[in-house]
Chains A and B, each alone.
Chain A
Amino acid sequence: MLNRRDFLKAGAGLALAAALPVRAASGAGHVVIIGGGVGGATAAKYLKLYNPALRVTVIEANRTYLRPYGSSEVLTGHVSMDDLVVSYDALKSKYGVDFVFDTVVGFDPAKKQVRTAGRQRIAYDKLIVSPGISLQYQAIPGYSAAVAETRAPSGWIPGSQTALLTQQLKAMRPGGSFVIVAPPNPYRCPPGPYERAALVTEWMRKHNPTGKVLILDPKDSFVTDATMQLGWHRLYGYNIPNDYLSDMPAGVKNSGKPSPIDWVRAMDGGTTEKIDARTLTVTTKQGAVKADVLNIIPPMKAGKLAFDMGLTDASGWCPVDRRSFESSVHPDVFVIGDASIADAMPKSGFSANNQAKVTARAVVAQLAGRVPGEPVWSNTCYALAGSDYGLFVADVFRLKDGKIARVPGERYLPIDASPAKIRLAAAYQQAWLKTFTEDCFA
């Protein structure tokens, strides 16, 4: 693989390369988008909505998209892998977005060109990069991409690992342990690992009633932790830790009996030190845990392309102007979605979708020589503690002193929410999967 210097060189050497002619920008401007996930797709669509005269080209490696949001439902058979597939047809036919199904191997920020593996040189007026995340398998001693593909899947970027994890869960011996190693902050989809744990626990009550789910966490808390744990308590008899009990509605009491789901926090020794892929053993600060199925969600950084293009900083994420998400490193290049440093905004699909719109607006304004208007973003994510048990986090974000900050106020499902509200939230979660996909891709 090219290192970063070679990557940039490959772009700079374009003038000498015998390649296809550089495409000139059209009258209104040519915006190139790298990445056809939630961020890139939404940006493409909204650019066309804001100015249909723009030429918009998406460079994406895969011909269809596998949606990560809601993908934990494949594990429990609620949906199939096929249900995760999203087509790019609507973006092409309805909005006139051009697609180049290829990977980017060269980048020349001075000439404003990118080069693909298929030897296309594509010039841009503005470039939006939405590269997602890269899973840092090697950050956990004993773990690797190879281990994730064959033995202890991550399934945090959907694909064969998701399918493998599903198979493993089905084949798990009665009374076996499904162990989830949760990631450190920041990571994609804050409630995600805990929703996965919940849905697996629910599934096991029917299919493997003596099975157990154990979360080993390098953290002590997570977004939606109070409401999620209350859901686990009500549905699976989970024992709520002492420091959360005071948040709970009156009358909530632990039975003290062992529960099929447990959460080992950092303060209780839940941080992973290493794993043994052969025996599926996790060594934590607390001791060794032997899993029957081991789902490791490793630390994350920006997608590899962001590093190759020089868009990251020492944190491993991409610094951007908070108003427009223009890269702090390269002008006329914008980074959106999980890869960007967006302060209080969580790394979620909803955030990527909102950032894409703000950035599209900024790009259109810049191309027209105007100052874009004041930005605003929101993130409203439903999550499940069970198929009929919904909860959520809902925030609106504004610029405050140069950073993106939450508008203060309540953000979670009320801890004393009624059963009707909880059931309704679960129904809305399912509806959201559909409407969200449409807003991004159709």
Chain B
Amino acid sequence: MGTLMKASLFVLAALAAASTHAAEPAGEAMAATCAACHGTHGKLGTVEYMPLAGMAEKEFVRAMQDFRSGKRLSTLMGHVANGFSDNEIRAMARYFATVK
């Protein structure tokens, strides 16, 4: 099975799971807002931004929380992280951790 197919099936499963959470967007749905900078599914070649695909959950959560609190310096990631709750950050982290 090709990578594209695998990735698509994974996302489809995530979508199916998403419909049970009424008020909170699915991890994948939130993660998709990141792709314009961080790459589709968080995959980037050698570019100036951080690839997110496969990032360990703890690392992602720590980064977003530190951006949000200002502990970790950033240009605009602090503002972006401010848009998400801890629960939502964890959901995004779970999504990115599973991307190969």
Contact = CB atoms under 8 A, between A and B. Distances in A.
A377 interface: yes
Given A372-B19, A392-B76, A407-B83, A378 B33 contact: yes
Among A95, A411, A435, the most chain B Cβ lie within 10 Å of the Cβ of A435
B48 A439 contact: no
Given A407-B83, A438-B40, A431 B75 contact: no
A372 B22 CA distance: 9
Interface in A414-428: 421, 424-425, 427-428
B82 A370 contact: no
B32 interface: yes
Contacts of A49: 4, 7-8, 11, 40
Q: Which interface class (under 10, 10 to 19, 20 to 34, 35 or more) fits B?
A: 35 or more
Contact of B75 (A353, A424, A436): A424
Nearest to B20: A373
Given A361-B15, A435-B37, A439-B39, A376 B79 contact: no
A376 B36 contact: no
Given A376-B29, A376-B30, A407-B83, A431 B40 contact: no
A370 B39 contact: no
B15 A431 contact: no
A440 B48 CA distance: 18
B99 to A, nearest CB: 12
B33 A396 contact: yes
Contact of B29 (A374, A382, A427, A434): A374
Among B37, B38, B39, the most chain A Cβ lie within 10 Å of the Cβ of B37
Given A365-B19, A373-B18, A435-B38, A409 B79 contact: yes
A354 B5 contact: no
Contact of B80 (A45, A365, A396): A396
Given A50-B12, A409-B82, A413-B75, A438 B39 contact: yes
B71 interface: no
A361 B26 CA distance: 11
Interface in A319-376: 350, 353-354, 357-358, 361, 364-365, 370-376
15 contacts: A49-B8, A49-B11, A357-B33, A361-B15, A373-B26, A374-B21, A374-B26, A378-B83, A380-B76, A390-B75, A392-B75, A394-B80, A395-B79, A421-B75, A431-B37
Given A49-B7, A374-B25, 10 more contacts: A45-B40, A49-B40, A353-B35, A354-B32, A372-B19, A373-B26, A392-B75, A431-B47, A431-B49, A432-B37
